[in-house]
A and B are shown apart, each in its own frame.
Chain A
Amino acid sequence: MGYSDARAFCPDLQSHPANLQEDARFQRVLARWAKRYCPWVGLEGEDGLVLNITGSAHLFGGEDAMLHDMRARLSRAGFLSRIGLADTRGAAWALAHHAPGIAPPGQSHQAIAALPVMALRLKETVSTSLQRVGIRTIADLVAVPRATVTRRFGREVLLRLDQALGGQGEDISPVPYPPSYQMRISLPEPIGLAADVQAGVESLLDPLCARLKANDMGARKLELTLRRVDQNAQSVELRLARPMRDPHRILPLFERGIREVDAGYGIDQMRLVATQVEPQPARQITHVQGVPTDKLDDLVTRIGNRIGLENVQRFLPADSHIPERSHIIAPAAWSEPAGGWAVVRDRPIRLFAPEPVAATGRTPPRHLRWRRMTLAVERVTGPERIAPEWWLPDDNWRSGVRDYWKVETRQGRRLWMFYTPQNPGWFVQGEFA
């Protein structure tokens, strides 16, 4: 029913926007929690789990105690749960959704006989048509000859019935463990030389990169932890400019970090973890290949690990006629070089915050004093009027439109000045080559 109909039934009804991704993520979290009961945990629909507790019920003191434990933990966490236990998955589903409880072993037939046909996970249309012909419960469905059911309603009905009663097997596909990208090595004797540590890192890096490659992922952040004999651990973190899984390229990038590690009395355990991975699909080598940027990426990684990976930047073009905003500065590690640069008019090489100069009039003055230099203006080009982007509030452009002039002085300096007619004033904003 619609929301307004529901409000008619219950005036105090509250609603929250649904967050399907979070729900899916949390379902996986619950699946991981449910692994404390048995190793075979699968997802059931969008809001349920299915567990195969064969052989693990006795560990919790019997089926009753196990279910009680589950219910208690879930309600302590604030969940309302309905749990059904039966011989088959279909019967357990039916019980969970319509009559929560336990069906004694071998008696699932009787346990689900009284349940409506919807409990068999049938489609809405099929169960409606079943009810229309008078088959309301599962016991009624069992009583009908099988051939007629198939002829009238399709094979799915009998398949579901067999699955519920045990005639047809049904598997649970458990949620797999996400692959973890970490390697560890313990050494019989402590080591201290940088070259030895490099060799150890190399032996850890090879299988790690092989695992990354098998899963089509590339590492973005690697952390090497070196445990010393006095139980202190030193770690070296490496952030990469591009997802990489080539051990030959990653190994030299560790050199600087390893050299700065204090080995103390020796290192006896090394652990390498790829803490952040990104999908890196295999790339097709085509006959039109761009220039390979391996060396440049390695350089960005090296400099980035020294001064911060966000401080290595590049320019990207932006669609704006405001001079300060005609480009975007983006970190090099997370952007690709973009073309599309087009300049219509002369622009200065250097831009700075507008510096006021004392001058009056709509055209540039003959003499001006800027940064403690007295300049005599010889030639001017302009004006070029640039209006502020009225759709963006910008404090710098509160003074209104600007008339830009290229001013050449006898002392040689070529300045980019502007005049704001709406709040009269002259400013210098840039300098040409």
Chain B
Amino acid sequence: MTAAITDYFPLRQGRAHEVCGAGAYGFACALAGQLGGNVMWIREDWQPELLNPEGFLPFFDPRKLLFAKGQSQIDVLASGEEALSSGAVNLTVMELSKSIGLTEGRRLQLAAEAGKSTGLCIISEGMGSNAAESRWRCAPIFAPADSTLIRWEIIKNKSGTLTGWDLRWDAETRRITVVSKAGQRPAPAHARG
């Protein structure tokens, strides 16, 4: 019996979490939408991929997003700490390219607690730090009848067990809903569309 997703999502406030996987950006956007308020997105300036505001418009209002480009990971972490402790933004997303140690992770946790905001680090697989409150792995899944099916798993959890859910994102209601396992889904009405 898997735990309800509402126990763990939106993420525990006042802590820094991590997410990895191909669906990490979608996770961050969905979280931003659920928390409301302002979002600060911090990354390094050499990263070639762009965030597309038209793409995350169904998740949250691009007016609430501010993003910052640092020159190195130190800048990213320092700006993230400022943003977390200021209390002006509800969610701070940091894209990390190298793994961070225990000291940095602990500083982020303290900053998130001081500012009562949530921090999220987007990392690559296998790069997490021990100080993160929870670590998620998100990946999109193919389903014949549903093009928003995603799988979110908690692979490290300081306050619960490790579980996973299959979810779909509903654009009209801007909500995620858990769907049942593959075997119990309705069969597609037609083959490849």
Chain A interface residues toward B at CB < 8 A: 295-296, 298-300, 302-303, 306-307, 311-315, 317, 323-324, 326-327, 332, 337-339, 341, 343, 347-353, 378-379, 381, 406, 408-414, 430-433
A350 and B52 CA atoms in complex are apart in Å by: 6
Interface 1/0s, chain B 33-64, versus A by CB < 8 A?
Answer: 00000101000010011111111111101111
A340 and B58 CA atoms in complex are apart in Å by: 14
- The answer, among B50, B51, B69, B150, for a CB contact under 8 Å with A311, is B69
- Known: A306-B79, A314-B65, A343-B57. Is A352-B50 also a contact (CB below 8 A)? yes
Q: Which residues of A contact B40 (CB under 8 A)?
A: 299
Q: Do B144 and A338 touch across chains, with their CB atoms under 8 A apart?
A: no
Q: Do A299 and B57 touch across chains, with their CB atoms under 8 A apart?
A: no
Q: Do B55 and A432 touch across chains, with their CB atoms under 8 A apart?
A: yes
Q: Do B54 and A378 touch across chains, with their CB atoms under 8 A apart?
A: no
Q: Which residues of A contact B67 (CB under 8 A)?
A: 312-314
Counted as pairs of residues, one from A and one from B, with CB atoms less than 8 Å apart, the total is 146
Stretch at the interface among B11-19, B86-94, B97-105, B106-114: B86-94
Interface centre among A327, A349, A431 (most CB of B within 10 A): A349
Q: Do B66 and A408 touch across chains, with their CB atoms under 8 A apart?
A: no
**Does B26 count as interface, using CB distance less than 8 angstroms?**
yes
Q: Do B62 and A349 touch across chains, with their CB atoms under 8 A apart?
A: no
Q: Which residues of A contact B89 (CB under 8 A)?
A: 296, 299
Q: Do A303 and B49 touch across chains, with their CB atoms under 8 A apart?
A: no
**Does B132 count as interface, using CB distance less than 8 angstroms?**
no
Q: Do B49 and A433 touch across chains, with their CB atoms under 8 A apart?
A: no
Q: Do B54 and A327 touch across chains, with their CB atoms under 8 A apart?
A: yes
Interface centre among A299, A313, A413, A431 (most CB of B within 10 A): A299
Chain B residues bordering chain A, tally (CB within 8 A): 53
**Does B178 count as interface, using CB distance less than 8 angstroms?**
no
A302 to chain B, nearest CB (A): 5
Q: Which of B72-93 contact A (CB under 8 A)?
A: 75, 78-79, 82-83, 86-89
B63 to chain A, nearest CB (A): 4
Q: Do A307 and B71 touch across chains, with their CB atoms under 8 A apart?
A: yes
A379 and B192 CA atoms in complex are apart in Å by: 6
**Does B164 count as interface, using CB distance less than 8 angstroms?**
no
B55 to chain A, nearest CB (A): 4
Q: Which 8 A-B pairs have the closest CB atoms?
A: A433-B26, A295-B88, A349-B55, A337-B63, A347-B54, A315-B53, A412-B140, A299-B88
Q: Do B45 and A311 touch across chains, with their CB atoms under 8 A apart?
A: yes
- Known: A306-B75, A314-B66, A341-B61. Is A296-B88 also a contact (CB below 8 A)? yes
**Does B22 count as interface, using CB distance less than 8 angstroms?**
yes
- Known: A412-B142, A432-B140. Is A315-B68 also a contact (CB below 8 A)? no
- The answer, among A314, A332, A339, A378, for a CB contact under 8 Å with B142, is A378
Q: Do A433 and B62 touch across chains, with their CB atoms under 8 A apart?
A: no
A216 and B192 CA atoms in complex are apart in Å by: 67
